[in-house]
Amino acid sequence: MTSPLQTPLFQTLCVIGPGHIGSSILRRARLEPALATRLVTTDAIPAVRETARCIGLADEVPDTMAEAVRDADCVILCVPVGAMGSVAAEVLPAMKPGAILSDVGSTKGSIVADITPHLRPDIPFVPAHPMAGREFSGPESGFAELFDDRWCLLTPLPGMPDEATQRIATMWALMGARTRAMDIAHHDKVCAMVSHLPHLIAFTICGTADDLADESRSEVLDFAASGFRDFTRIAGSNPVMWRDIFLNNREALLEMLARFTEDAQAMARAIRWGDADFIVDRIERGRRIRKTLIENRQA
Instruction: Identify residues 218-257 at the interface with a second copy (CB under 8 A).
Output: 219-237, 239-240, 242-243, 246-247, 250, 253-254, 256-257
Residue 58: in which H helix or E strand, if any? none
In angstroms, rounded to a whole number, what is the distance separating the alpha carbons of residues 162 and 47? 38
108-137 residues near a second copy, rule: CB under 8 A: 131-135
Is 293 a residue that touches a second copy (CB under 8 A)? yes
Is 4 a residue that touches a second copy (CB under 8 A)? no
User: What are residue 40's DSSP bridge partners?
Assistant: 14, 60
194-213 residues near a second copy, rule: CB under 8 A: 194-212
Of 187, 171, 246, whose CA–CA distance to 10 is shortest? Answer: 171
In angstroms, rounded to a whole number, what is the distance separating the alpha carbons of residues 168 and 102? 8
In angstroms, rounded to a whole number, what is the distance separating the alpha carbons of residues 251 and 273? 33
State the minimum distance, in angstroms, from the CB of residue 72 to a second copy. Answer: 28
Based on CB atoms, which residue is closest to a second copy, 73 or 188? Answer: 188
State the minimum distance, in angstroms, from the CB of residue 14 to a second copy. Answer: 26
User: Of 78, 153, 154, 174, which lies in the binding site for a second copy, with binding defined by CB under 8 A?
Assistant: 153
Stretch that binds a second copy, among 14-22, 55-63, 111-119, 184-192 (CB under 8 A): 184-192
Residue 148 burial (CB count, 10 A): 13
Q: Give the torsion sign (CA, 40, 45, 48, 49).
A: positive
State the minimum distance, in angstroms, from the CB of residue 119 to a second copy. Answer: 26
Instruction: Please tell me the count of residues contacting a second copy according to CB under 8 A.
Output: 94
